[in-house]
A and B are shown apart, each in its own frame.
Chain A
Amino acid sequence: MQAALTATGLVCRRGDRLLWGPLELALAPGQALHLTGPNGIGKTSLLRIAAGLLRPFAGAVERSGAFALLDGALALDEHQPLDAALAFWRRMDGGPMPLERLGLHTLLDVPVRYLSTGQRKRAALARLIGQGARHWLLDEPLNGLDDAGVALVETLIAERRAQGGAVIVASHQPIALDGAAVMDLRTHAA
């Protein structure tokens, strides 16, 4: 089976600081990887390098299939009602968004800027699912979510993996991922 993501000899440098590396990654479809480590260790940088948004200082990343990214940036128009803001991505991606399941169906007429931290995370999840990408890269997906929200994210990840998606989760919070590999970036710190 072809790997979803392979990284060889990755080294990350931000500014004049060497953060971590060299490290190797190999993620097969259906696999999950939990990235841990304290703040500032470079979890977000690793995700952005995996997404192809950031160039590694050394090494290479090979991806196969579409990847979706969930990070701290919401990418929804703040002044628009949630419905209209999500409609932009729905028109672009054409995928269905399970709004009711995410608890967003009662918030559709609320402007995005009035949403709480947890509600914003749920809206970002709607955008993520609507993209319909096979593999997911999630940066702190549990931030601001209540217990039900955490359980929902764990279920969503399990469903994505069951459909052959690879998932990388960067989180300093514990997250229940069945049979996931755990990588502590401290062991790769430069």
Chain B
Amino acid sequence: MRVAATLLRRDLATLLPGRQGGTLLPLLFFLAVAMLYPFAVGPDPQLLARTGGGVIWVAALLAAILPLDRLLASDFQSGFFDQWAMRGIAEELVVAIRLLAHWLSFGPPLMLAALPAAALLGLDGRTLAIVELGLLAGTPGLAAIGIIIAALTLGLRSAGMALAGLLLIPLAVPLLVFGAGALSTGGTSGVALCGAISLVLVALAPFAGGAAIRAARES
């Protein structure tokens, strides 16, 4: 328990936006997309209202990729994972806590930023509610995909980042299909499926990530 609390405290200190090391970039990126989109497609309120929810989703997906390169690689290279292993701390525990901190650093801030983004795109209250519900259901899954990919690309050094971005996109498609798809069907069944996919990914991530870190050590 003391180990978990110590790990979480350090992870939050390095990942939370505005703190040392953490960055506001994903949030600003998200808001920039929402701000620039109306300029790009023109000020047609109906078009904006119809497509705005989807744009928020795509922006959220891309914002989730931005911090991937500092999620695990720097700790791996500076020997933290070796030292944790020497203390008998499982990689799975470290990854699970990193996953929680990663989600906290972009999930809730993104849900907050979706409020001004919805205003900029002229979304109505009902659509906004589905977007927010969908983000709540989908962002843990995005965080889990992110951490799995960060772990899988550990052995690739600098070339890993380009690959990481490419790998994330097909894996994120199911989340996007159901999460953003709920906007057009109007019900919450899509959100529920999105949440189910998220739960599976979150359950898998610590084990996949832990195995990937151990494999990277051998390379």
Asked if residues A51 and B86 are in contact (CB atoms below 8 Å), the reply is: yes
Asked if residues B82 and A69 are in contact (CB atoms below 8 Å), the reply is: yes
- Nearest-neighbor residue (CB-CB) of A94 within chain B: B2
> In the docked arrangement, what's the CA distance between A131 and B87, Å?
8
Provide the residues of chain A in CB contact with B105, threshold 8 Å. Answer: none
**CB-CB contacts below 8 Å: B71-88 with A:** 77-80, 82-83, 85-88
Main secondary structure of the interface of B (DSSP, over half): helix
Asked if residues A75 and B79 are in contact (CB atoms below 8 Å), the reply is: yes
A42-60 CB mask vs B (1 if < 8 Å, else 0) is: 0000000001111100000
Provide the residues of chain B in CB contact with A133, threshold 8 Å. Answer: 86
The answer, yes or no, to whether A180 is at the interface (CB within 8 Å) is no
Q: Give the residue of B3, B77, B87 whose beta carbon is less than 8 angstroms from that of A73.
A: B77
A86-126 CB mask vs B (1 if < 8 Å, else 0) is: 00110111100000000000000000000000000000000
Asked if residues B85 and A53 are in contact (CB atoms below 8 Å), the reply is: yes
B41-84 CB mask vs A (1 if < 8 Å, else 0) is: 00000000000000000000000000000000000011110110
Asked if residues A73 and B86 are in contact (CB atoms below 8 Å), the reply is: no
Provide the residues of chain A in CB contact with B3, threshold 8 Å. Answer: 92
The answer, yes or no, to whether A83 is at the interface (CB within 8 Å) is no
Q: Give the residue of A54, A75, A94 whose beta carbon is less than 8 angstroms from that of B80.
A: A75
A119-158 CB mask vs B (1 if < 8 Å, else 0) is: 0000000010001010000000000000000000000000
Asked if residues A75 and B14 are in contact (CB atoms below 8 Å), the reply is: no
**What is the interface size of chain A, counting residues whose CB is below 8 A from a CB of the partner?**
28
Given A69-B82, A73-B82: A93 and B10 interface contact (C-beta under 8 Å): no
Counting chain B CB atoms within 10 Å of each CB, the highest count among A69, A92, A93 belongs to: A92
**What is the interface size of chain B, counting residues whose CB is below 8 A from a CB of the partner?**
21
Provide the residues of chain B in CB contact with A91, threshold 8 Å. Answer: 2, 6, 9
Smallest beta-carbon distance B77→chain A, Å: 7
The answer, yes or no, to whether A79 is at the interface (CB within 8 Å) is yes
**CB-CB contacts below 8 Å: B1-42 with A:** 2-3, 6-7, 9-10, 14, 20-21
Asked if residues B20 and A80 are in contact (CB atoms below 8 Å), the reply is: yes
Smallest beta-carbon distance B115→chain A, Å: 32
**CB-CB contacts below 8 Å: B81-127 with A:** 82-83, 85-88
Provide the residues of chain B in CB contact with A127, threshold 8 Å. Answer: 83
> In the docked arrangement, what's the CA distance between A60 and B7, Å?
32
Asked if residues A78 and B20 are in contact (CB atoms below 8 Å), the reply is: no
Smallest beta-carbon distance A30→chain B, Å: 21
The answer, yes or no, to whether A3 is at the interface (CB within 8 Å) is no
Asked if residues A75 and B85 are in contact (CB atoms below 8 Å), the reply is: no
Given contacts A53-B82, A75-B83, A88-B6, 6 further A-B contacts (CB under 8 A): A69-B82, A73-B78, A77-B10, A79-B21, A88-B10, A91-B9
Query: Which residues of A line the B interface, CB within 8 A?
Result: 51-55, 66-69, 71-80, 88-89, 91-94, 127, 131, 133
What are 6 A-B contacts defined by CB distance under 8 Å? Answer: A52-B85, A77-B10, A77-B14, A91-B2, A91-B6, A93-B87
